Structure 1
């Protein structure tokens, strides 16, 4: 018995077929079948009952499955622990990232990572969460980075970074003239420019309002826009105030185009998540990149 065989068995069991497992593992179907048969020969019992129409686990297979899952989890933990010591990695890293992460967070982290690991080539796709899940499922991406947790039966989530939304107002706004922190009740008296419904940024704001017993529908929203850049431009023009990730407005605040203000009685924090297939083992280059992200939090 070896770990590779356990990984193949687990993938077949969770994928539901040899053909689906072969696609996920980038192997031929006969090779997958051969490895499962070798495992059955090792244990001296059938692990899977196969027919032309379906496949199901035997009693022995059901007993083995949690051990195979644990071995996969231990392998991931081992790779994550050893990633910090990997200094001469090579390979191609394919990942997807949602808008805020891909356009505002990763660009300033990819440069230092590339200098530290010059032989790893990165292909980054910026897209919405649904597209990221689809491309991970079809094995076009190793993993994705998303702004809000999702529940998918074939995927696993891992919180890798933290983020915080702050109140963003025009430079000459009355709230900016007060100096210091403001109260949430005072903030909600002003019109807002927000991202579209369903965006991760807007969801964080609405979740916090719900926790405070405030109906998000009561917020006076004068404009809904489909990108963070458009929201920032609207705020600069004095059309309203907004809540945005601190990582998206560093340039504008440095130039004095907008002001970032703390709300004294409310905190709008969230986590960013790495998402991957449960049955997949990430390459060491990917584990090293995720370890790198965890160590580099921003303020």
Structure 2
């Protein structure tokens, strides 16, 4: 079927390698090569330029790729529509989530989802907010859950959960035992932030701007777990979602610094592509995310 050949084509284009595509699709490399050859004969043009190091799309291949993705997406949706008709929730569901949500909030939701819909094959991709937006625009995920802001005419954000953002220090920090602190107490402090493009980085910078504090030094670490360990080691202060640090605050390895008369929170949001028909698996996930009984952070 042409859909099978297009799936092979799209996977080779993504992986930029016949061998990696074969591994991802659980096929032999000769089978991948044969299907690409058949597709090139069908379209009457070369789709890939092959070198010793990598595989690149030709101009014809770049033209075909977005159509191939749409065809594959429609094929999956057509199966989902028939499953809906029969009352089944099956198929594949690829979810994109930002680090805070994917690592600290979504696992409980996914556990309930798999109990309800065991026939759905789940795939979770974790990346920063900007990358999740790109994956959605590129049809590589079915639904997303993000903590940052995205503005694009093809994307819609639906807030579903409030997330309090807190200022953190190691218990040994001079401010660690204070009941309340003033913004001026933070002058001269080092801060540990996530990378550019991260929703957590954006909200930390906004937090600092609102209280009028310019860090003495900024240390960038590309994971929330790495930031927590760096704060515990005394490298600086951090601004993170309360969801990420419930365990550390409970056991005292991190303490919250409370700024007098200042509270900061943001919305976590469901990300969808505007106008895109949702499979039953995706719509059930979206419903669960918005109605889930999240425990107190």
Q: TM-score range by the shorter chain?
A: 0.5 to 0.7
Is 1:182 the counterpart of 2:181 in the alignment?
Answer: yes
Q: CA deviation at 1:23?
A: 5.1
Is 1:159 the counterpart of 2:155 in the alignment?
Answer: no
Residue 283 of structure 1, aligned match among 275, 279, 282? 279
2:166 touches 2:239 (CA, 8 Å); kept in 1? Answer: yes
* 1:122 aligned partner: 122
Q: 1:157 and 1:263 mapped to 2: Cα distance?
A: 30
Cα deviations by residue, 1:110-134 (Å, 9 ceiling, x for unpaired): 2233223333332111123333233
Q: CA deviation at 1:239?
A: 1.4
Relative to structure 2, which stretch is displaced further, 113-122 or 227-236? 113-122
Relative to structure 2, which stretch is displaced further, 228-237 or 134-143? 134-143
1:176 touches 1:259 (CA, 8 Å); kept in 2? Answer: yes
Q: 1:185 to 1:140 in 2, by over 3 A?
A: same
* 1:54 aligned partner: none
Residue 256 of structure 1, aligned match among 252, 255, 267? 252
Cα deviations by residue, 1:22-44 (Å, 9 ceiling, x for unpaired): 8536459xxxxxxxxxxxxxxxx
Residue 70 of structure 2, aligned match among 1, 24, 39? 24
1:182 touches 1:262 (CA, 8 Å); kept in 2? Answer: yes
Q: CA deviation at 1:256?
A: 2.1
1:184 touches 1:266 (CA, 8 Å); kept in 2? Answer: no
User: Equivalent residue of 2:176, what SS?
Assistant: helix
Cα deviations by residue, 1:237-268 (Å, 9 ceiling, x for unpaired): 11111111111112322332111233232222
Is 1:172 the counterpart of 2:209 in the alignment?
Answer: no
* 1:53 aligned partner: none
RMSD of aligned Cα (Å): 2.9
1:168 touches 1:258 (CA, 8 Å); kept in 2? Answer: yes
Q: 2:244 and 2:185 mapped to 1: Cα distance?
A: 24
* 2:42 aligned partner: none
Q: Which has the higher contact order (CA 8 A, sep 6+)?
A: 1
Q: 2:116 and 2:181 mapped to 1: Cα distance?
A: 42
1:100 touches 1:248 (CA, 8 Å); kept in 2? Answer: yes
Is 1:236 the counterpart of 2:265 in the alignment?
Answer: no
User: Equivalent residue of 1:152, what SS?
Assistant: coil
Q: 1:197 to 1:130 in 2, by over 3 A?
A: closer
Q: 1:242 to 1:276 in 2, by over 3 A?
A: same
Q: 1:131 and 1:193 mapped to 2: Cα distance?
A: 21
Gaps of 5+ in 1: 1-18, 29-86
Instruction: Give the TM-score, by structure 2 length.
Output: 0.65
Tell me the matched-pair count: 221
